[in-house]
Amino acid sequence: MTRKQLSQYIAFSSFTIISLVVVGILFVILGFIIVRGASVISWEFITGMPEEGMTKGGILPAIVGTGCLILGSMIFAFPVGVLSGIYMNEYLSDNWFRRFIDFMTNNLAGVPSIVFGLFGMALFVNYLGFGDSIIAGSMTLGLLTLPVIIRTTEEALKSVDDSLRTGSLALGATKLQTIRKVVLPVAFPNIITGLILSIGRVSGETAPILFTVAAYFLPNLPHSIYDQVMALPYHLYVLATSGTNMEESRPMAYGTAFVLIVIVLLMNLLANFLRKALGKRVKM
Amino acid sequence: MKRFRRLFEKFIEGILLSSSTITSLTVILIVLFLFREGLGIFNRSPLEHNFIIAVSKQNPVQDLSSDQLKAIFNQDITNWSQVGGKNDSIILFTVNDITNYFTEEELGASLEYLPQKLNEFIVSHPGALMHISDKNLPSDFQGHTIHVKNISVKDFLFGKQWYPTSEPIPSFGIWPMIIGTFLVTLGALLIALPLGLATALFLAEVADIRLRNIVKPLVELLAGIPSVVYGFFGLIVIVPMVQSTFKLDVGETVLAGSLVLGIMALPTIVTIAEDALRTTPRSLKEASLALGATRWQTLRRVTIPYAKSGISAAIILGIGRAIGETMAVLMVTGNASNVPHSFLVPARTLPATIAAELGEAPYGGLHFKALFALGIVLFLFTIMINLTVAYVRNKERK
């Protein structure tokens, strides 16, 4: 082996080894949570209320709360994000306005989640007077995830072949008809994938809900959008750091982390599955 | 019918346009609300609302800085001559001390004689420094109020003490958190950069398509794990590990934060750097290979230089992710409010401070405003990062 080949061999092997380490880290984290958490999971854990200072019982209110927040944020962010993505990709040419919106969207994507929390508290909780409520938390989470949905919509639209658009326009369809009947159906699987992945992200966010909706403990399920709720990520934070009896609530913490991880994994699997299944249908 | 159609299309286009402005609007609103709440800390005295500092009329001292006041209340300064007054010892007085000087009968059942007694006190104690509510002040007050200097931006950014709730004078210096954030981020980068770039190189150049299709989704999965789960993992596994490895009293340290953050920044760096490496035109690489260069030489001399700006963008965005990360850091760095001097001591970061304290800060108070001011600092950091990324990318396009 020449020196050239030797140095390539050393470099490429170390890249391979390091990548394996990175993947290994992932498996250690997932494995740790899954192994410790799985033994806690039971029907009672999923459907029961927390009991005895959150050392026993279940996490139903947190699951329901996170469900409400996912639903609320998506009702707001999905339409707005998709419409915005369509406008940016289909209508705007590369002018200053487009670059400005691009820059602002990137900025929004880079804003730390705790700043979203501050903002949500100032605008929705105090200024608009929603108080700590599902609606305040959902709006905050919705704004946080908006850039992700816009970007995936744009990417999905970009991957649609231009010949389809020109073909449709040449047949006399209007721009809107072309988008609705030709472009969107082709881009649809990828847009949905983006939606599902952002659900995974929303379900795990803690900082934005700390001061807009999350409750330490609630004995009831929410009745209206102006109620506070418990949420899975905040519940895990509470159990891990400030529970009344940390040693005894540890199994509950493992279980909550497990449920969070399972949601993320399921969303990833579902996204991949849909991308493949719907992708085939469109290709025909 | 055709006209209706056209109108309808215009209408839809309008809806689309207004949706696309929402992100910009949100950024503007974020700026507006952060500054509305946060700037309030700067143009007022550090005393809580309604409270004043008063001295006897004969006392020549007119204004004091909050550092001087703190020193007086900590009894580090005990004589007026130390702050530019006469040679007279300082008698500290707050409303709670009133019963040391007057009986309850003298004050009245519902403290109706309190203002009058305050007058008597200030006249009989020329060296007194009173910290009282202006509601209790008599209309014919026999002393004068001291002007307490406002909190300056410099004090806020470079002040080394953060005691937001200490009475009577809170301290709002965020230097410990700036250094804490910097150290934790630096450590995270030292961990994430080599690992992340190597993985990106592996995915882009070494791995065959089959292996890549396994590794890449796994790395992306790493990005999907909620930060609070990382924090929990850090708390249970990494913190005790750090503690026993370095034989420390507490494992909640900068290092633990860096380790957790480093893992969390990996996916950002890997994904963006790999995308950048893939933009290198095939023709360039093949030309290099055709000239007899090995793949490694091609990678070093052609692919990496070509993708340089994209890789820089990946690194900067990784930094941005690390600076803003809240929950995981909050759970593993121990949140000590001292300026950290090494990787093995507890520290706190800007976002963690907001998350830990906003819940307890009374709405509209100084502490509340100070936390929003922290938010401004954090926001400015991220804007700076985004501007840098935009600049780097712009250069790449040219």
| A281 has pLDDT over 80 | no
- Which residues from A are below 8 Å from B389, CB to CB? 106
Q: What is the pLDDT of residues B11-32, one digit of tens each?
A: 999 999 999 999 999 999 999 9
- Which residues from A are below 8 Å from B226, CB to CB? 203-206, 233, 260, 264
Structure tokens of B193? 């950069």
Structure tokens of B134? 């202006």
B85 touches chain A (CB under 8 A): no
Alpha helices in B39-151 (DSSP H): 66-73, 98-101, 104-107, 114-124
Question: Strand pairing of A50-51 and B91-94?
Answer: unpaired
Alpha helices in chain B (DSSP H): 2-20, 22-38, 66-73, 98-101, 104-107, 114-124, 153-158, 175-201, 209-224, 227-233, 239-245, 254-278, 282-290, 295-298, 304-306, 308-324, 327-332, 350-357, 366-397
Q: Which long-range contacts (CB under 8 A, 24 or more apart) does B108-115 make?
A: B115/B139
Indicate yes or no: CB of B355 within 8 angstroms of CB of A210. yes
Domain B175-397, CATH number (from 1.10.3720.10, 3.60.20.10, 2.70.150.10, 1.10.10.60): 1.10.3720.10
Of the candidates A232, A254, A268, A269, which has an alpha carbon nearest to the alpha carbon of residue A35? Answer: A254
Residue of A nearest to B236 (CA): A240
Nearest CB neighbour to A15, from listed B20, B206, B383: B206
| B199 has pLDDT over 80 | yes
Domain A43-283, CATH number (from 1.10.3720.10, 3.40.1640.10, 1.10.760.10, 3.40.50.720): 1.10.3720.10
Average pLDDT over residues A88-113: 89
C-alpha distance from B29 to closest chain A C-alpha (Å): 8
Band of the pLDDT at B123, cuts 50, 70, 90? confident
Q: What is the pLDDT of residues A256-276, one digit of tens each?
A: 999 999 998 999 889 888 878
Average pLDDT over residues B294-306: 90
Average pLDDT over residues A196-225: 88
Indicate yes or no: CB of A272 within 8 angstroms of CB of B217. yes
**Cβ distance B211 to B202 under 8 Å?**
no
Nearest CB neighbour to B296, from listed A8, A146, A205: A8
C-alpha distance from A237 to closest chain B C-alpha (Å): 6
Q: Identify residue A63 by its one-letter amino acid code.
A: I
Residue of A nearest to B394 (CA): A99
C-alpha distance from A137 to closest chain B C-alpha (Å): 15
In what helix (H) or strand (E) does residue B130 lie, and over which residues does it extend?
Answer: strand B128-133
In what helix (H) or strand (E) does residue B55 lie, and over which residues does it extend?
Answer: strand B51-56
Residue of A nearest to B292 (CA): A4
In what helix (H) or strand (E) does residue B163 lie, and over which residues does it extend?
Answer: strand B162-163
User: What span, in angstroms and rounded, lies between the C-alpha atoms of A55 and A42?
Assistant: 15
* Per-residue pLDDT at A2: 82
| B62 has pLDDT over 50 | yes
Q: Which of B19, B222, B302 should we substitute to test contact with A (largest number of A Cβ atoms within 10 Å)? A: B19
Q: What is the pLDDT of residues B208-230, one digit of tens each?
A: 889 988 888 888 888 889 999 99
C-alpha distance from B164 to closest chain A C-alpha (Å): 18
Residue carrying the six token digits 């999907």? B224
Structure tokens of B151? 């909190």
Q: Best-predicted range by mean pLDDT among A148-152, B48-52, B170-174?
A: A148-152
| B95 has pLDDT over 70 | yes
* CA distances in angstroms from B21 to A139, A179, A180, listed in the order given: 16, 20, 21
Kindly report the number of other CB atoms within 10 A of residue A100's CB atom: 12
Of the candidates A97, A115, A46, which has an alpha carbon nearest to the alpha carbon of residue A260? Answer: A46
Average pLDDT over residues B114-129: 82
| A12 has pLDDT over 70 | yes
| DSSP codes joined into one string, B266-283 | HHHHHHHHHHHHHTS-HH
C-alpha distance from B392 to closest chain A C-alpha (Å): 13
User: What span, in angstroms and rounded, lies between the C-alpha atoms of B209 and B221?
Assistant: 18
* Per-residue pLDDT at A275: 79
> Is it true that the peptide bond before A219 is cis, omega within 30 degrees of 0?
no
Of the candidates B75, B74, B72, B98, which has an alpha carbon nearest to the alpha carbon of residue B85? Answer: B72
- Which residues from A are below 8 Å from B397, CB to CB? none
Q: SS3 of B164, please?
A: coil
User: What span, in angstroms and rounded, lies between the C-alpha atoms of B318 and B261?
Assistant: 10
C-alpha distance from B219 to closest chain A C-alpha (Å): 7
- Which residues from A are below 8 Å from B207, CB to CB? 16, 19
Q: Which of A118, A157, A250 should we substitute to test contact with B (largest number of B Cβ atoms within 10 Å)? A: A118
- Bridge partners (DSSP) of residue B53 are B131
- Which residues from A are below 8 Å from B188, CB to CB? none
Q: How many residues does chain A have?
A: 284
Nearest CB neighbour to B33, from listed A7, A92, A119: A119
Question: Strand pairing of B91-94 and B128-133?
Answer: parallel
Q: SS3 of B102, please?
A: coil
* Per-residue pLDDT at A284: 40
Residue carrying the six token digits 């903002």? A119
- Which residues from A are below 8 Å from B235, CB to CB? 240-241
Q: SS3 of B310, please?
A: helix
Kindly report the number of other CB atoms within 10 A of residue A68's CB atom: 21
Indicate yes or no: CB of A264 within 8 angstroms of CB of B198. no
In chain A, where the domains are located:
1-38, 43-283
In chain B, where the domains are located:
2-41, 51-149, 175-397
Residue of B nearest to A92 (CA): B17
Indicate yes or no: CB of A237 within 8 angstroms of CB of B203. no
**Cβ distance B226 to A206 under 8 Å?**
yes
Q: Which residues 287-326 on chain B approach chain A with CB closer than 8 angstroms?
A: 294-297, 299, 317, 320, 323-326
pLDDT averaged over every residue in chain B: 87
**Cβ distance B223 to B268 under 8 Å?**
yes
| A29 has pLDDT over 90 | yes
User: What span, in angstroms and rounded, lies between the C-alpha atoms of B184 and B181?
Assistant: 5
Of the candidates B118, B27, B85, which has an alpha carbon nearest to the alpha carbon of residue B383? Answer: B27
Indicate yes or no: CB of A114 within 8 angstroms of CB of B222. no
CA A138 to chain CA centroid, nearest Å: 12
| A5 has pLDDT over 90 | no
Residue carrying the six token digits 């590990």? B241
Kindly report the number of other CB atoms within 10 A of residue B133's CB atom: 13
| B397 has pLDDT over 70 | no
| A33 has pLDDT over 90 | yes
B377 touches chain A (CB under 8 A): no
Structure tokens of A76? 């707001």
| B231 has pLDDT over 70 | yes
Average pLDDT over residues A70-87: 94
Indicate yes or no: CB of B22 within 8 angstroms of CB of A84. yes
The DSSP letter of residue B111 is S
**Cβ distance A181 to B12 under 8 Å?**
no
Q: What angle do CA B218, B222, B224 make, to 5 degrees?
A: 110
Q: SS3 of B364, please?
A: coil
Structure tokens of B295? 């793949």
Q: What is the pLDDT of residues A106-138, one digit of tens each?
A: 889 989 999 999 999 999 999 999 999 999 999
Of A143 and B112, which is predicted with more confidence?
Answer: A143
| DSSP codes joined into one string, chain A | --HHHHHHHHHHHHHHHHHHHHHHHHHHHHHHHHHHHHTT--HHHHHSPEETTTTEE--HHHHHHHHHHHHHHHHHHHHHHHHHHHIIIII--SSHHHHHHHHHHHHHHHS-HHHHHHHHIIIIIIIS---SSHHHHHHHHHHHHHHHHHHHHHHHHHTS-HHHHHHHHHTT--HHHHIIIIIHHHHHHHHHHHHHHHHHHHHH--HHHHTTTB-S--SS---STTS-B--HHHHHHHHHHT-SSHHHHHHHHHHHHHHHHHHHHHHHHHHHHHHHHHHHHHH-
CA A143 to chain CA centroid, nearest Å: 12
B26 touches chain A (CB under 8 A): yes
User: What span, in angstroms and rounded, lies between the C-alpha atoms of A50 and A56?
Assistant: 6
* Per-residue pLDDT at B386: 87
B327 touches chain A (CB under 8 A): yes
- Which residues from B are below 8 Å from A236, CB to CB? 228-229, 232
CB contact set of B47 (below 8 Å; sequence gap of 6+): B53, B148, B168, B169
* Per-residue pLDDT at A243: 61
Q: Which long-range contacts (CB under 8 A, 24 or more apart) does B2-9 make?
A: B5/A174, B8/A176, B9/A174, B9/A175, B9/A176
Average pLDDT over residues B300-326: 90
B221 touches chain A (CB under 8 A): yes
Q: Which of A119, A177, A197, A247 should we substitute to test contact with B (largest number of B Cβ atoms within 10 Å)? A: A119
Band of the pLDDT at B170, cuts 50, 70, 90? confident
Band of the pLDDT at B186, cuts 50, 70, 90? very high
Q: Which superfamily does B51-149 belong to?
A: Periplasmic binding protein-like II (3.40.190.10)
